[in-house]
Structure 1
C-alpha cells in the first residue's frame, strides 16, 4: 500500500479487508449447514443417510475450495490497491454480495445435481463473482495509471501480480462458462469438467509463487 499505515486510505482499506474477510467466513460457514444427520437411526438408516449426504459433502468441498480461491485472489487484489473508492468500491461490494449468495446455488447443486438448471445456475454464480473481481482489478489498475501512484519497482511488482490474478480468474471464467451449455446436455459432464481446474490451478499457483519469489529478490 502506498498510503501510510495511519492514513485515511490505509484505514479505509483495512476496514474493507475486515468486512470482506467476515463475509467470506460467513459464506464458508453457511456451506456446512446442509450437512447434518438425524438422530435415532437404525444401522440401515444410518448407512442410507451417509450415502445421501455424499452430494452435500461434495458440493460443500467444491464451494469451499472455490471460495478459498476467490478469497486468496481478493486479498491479493486489495493488497495491490492504493485505495478503493467510487466505482471500484461499488464493484467490490457487488462482488461481496455475490460471494454471500454462493451458499444458495450450492444447496441447489447438492439437492438437484442431475438438473441442468441447477448446475448452470451454480456455474453462472461463479462466473458473476469472477467477472466482478476482474472488474474491480481493472478499475483499480486504471485508477493507479491515472494517479501515477507507485515507484517503478512497486509498479512492476504490481503489474506481475495483476497478471497472475487475471490469469487465475480468467481460467475459472472460461471453464465454468464452457460448462453452462454443457450442463443442459449433460449435467454430469459439466460437473466432471470442473475438475479440470484442479491441475490448472495447481500449475498457476506454482507460477504465481515463482513470480513473487523473483520479485522479492
Structure 2
C-alpha cells in the first residue's frame, strides 16, 4: 500500500514551476510577428491577420498566469513534499508546457471545433491536476507541519472545480457548436470573482 514519505522541501519544485510557466508564456510570444518589407496596405492586412494571434495570446497568458498564482497559493503553507505531490506537480507542469500548441491551433484555426475542444481539454487537464494537488495536500497536514491549508478549504476547491467543469463542458459543446462554445468561458468571470471575494473574506 502506498504511503506518504516526506522527500524534502518544496523549493526546487516551486523553482521548476516558475520556470515552466515563464517559458510557456515566452513561447506564446514567438508566434507574434509581422513580415518585413511590406507596403502600407500589406502592413495593415498583416496587423489585421495578427488580431486572432493577439487574442489567443492574451487568453493563454491569463490562463497560465492564473494557474501560476494558484500553484504558489497551494504551496504557501507546505514545508515538505512527498512522491505523490511531486508526481502530480510535474504532470500538471507538463500540461502547462503544452499550452502554446493548443493556443496556436486556436489562433490559426479558431473556427474549427477540434481546435476549441483541444484547447478546452488542455486547460481542463491543467485545472484537474491542480485540484488534485490541492486536495492531496489538504489531507496531509504533516507536510504542512500542522498548519491549516488555505487551498484545502471548500471554497477554494469549489473555485478550482468550477474552472475544470466549465472547460470540460466546452469540449463536447465545441464539437456541436464550434467556436461559439468559447462564450461559455465568460461564465467564469463573475463566478470566480464572487468566489475570490469570499475567499479573501475567509482569510
| TM-score (norm: length of structure 2) | 0.89
Verify: 1:201 aligned to 2:192, yes or no: yes
Distance (Å, rounded) in 2 between the aligned partners of 1:159 and 1:35: 38
Shift of 1:84: 1.5
Distance (Å, rounded) in 2 between the aligned partners of 1:148 and 1:58: 39
Q: Is contact 1:137-1:162 (8 Å) kept?
A: no
Distance (Å, rounded) in 2 between the aligned partners of 1:77 and 1:147: 12
Verify: 1:192 aligned to 2:189, yes or no: no
Q: Is contact 2:99-2:122 (8 Å) kept?
A: yes
The gaps in structure 1 that reach 5 residues or longer are 1-7, 213-217
**Aligned twin of 2:29:** 32
The equivalences for 1:11-50 within 5 A come to 12-50=9-47
**Aligned twin of 1:111:** 108
Give the secondary structure class of the aligned counterpart of 2:139: helix
The equivalences for 1:149-164 within 5 A come to 149-150=145-146, 154-155=147-148, 158=149, 162-164=153-155
Distance (Å, rounded) in 1 between the aligned partners of 2:163 and 2:202: 20
Q: Is contact 1:109-1:118 (8 Å) kept?
A: yes
Q: Is contact 2:134-2:151 (8 Å) kept?
A: no
1:171-214 deviation line (CA, Å, top 9, x unaligned): 101111111111011222211111222222222222222222xx
Q: Is contact 1:123-1:176 (8 Å) kept?
A: yes
Q: After alignment, is 160-169 or 172-181 more displaced?
A: 160-169
Verify: 1:122 aligned to 2:113, yes or no: no
1:65-121 deviation line (CA, Å, top 9, x unaligned): 011111111101111323222111111111111111111110111111011111101
Write 1 or 2 for the structure with the bigger share of helix.
1
The gaps in structure 2 that reach 5 residues or longer are 1-6
The equivalences for 1:161-172 within 5 A come to 162-172=153-163
**Aligned twin of 1:180:** 171
| TM-score (norm: length of structure 1) | 0.84
Give the secondary structure class of the aligned counterpart of 2:140: helix
Give the secondary structure class of the aligned counterpart of 1:79: coil
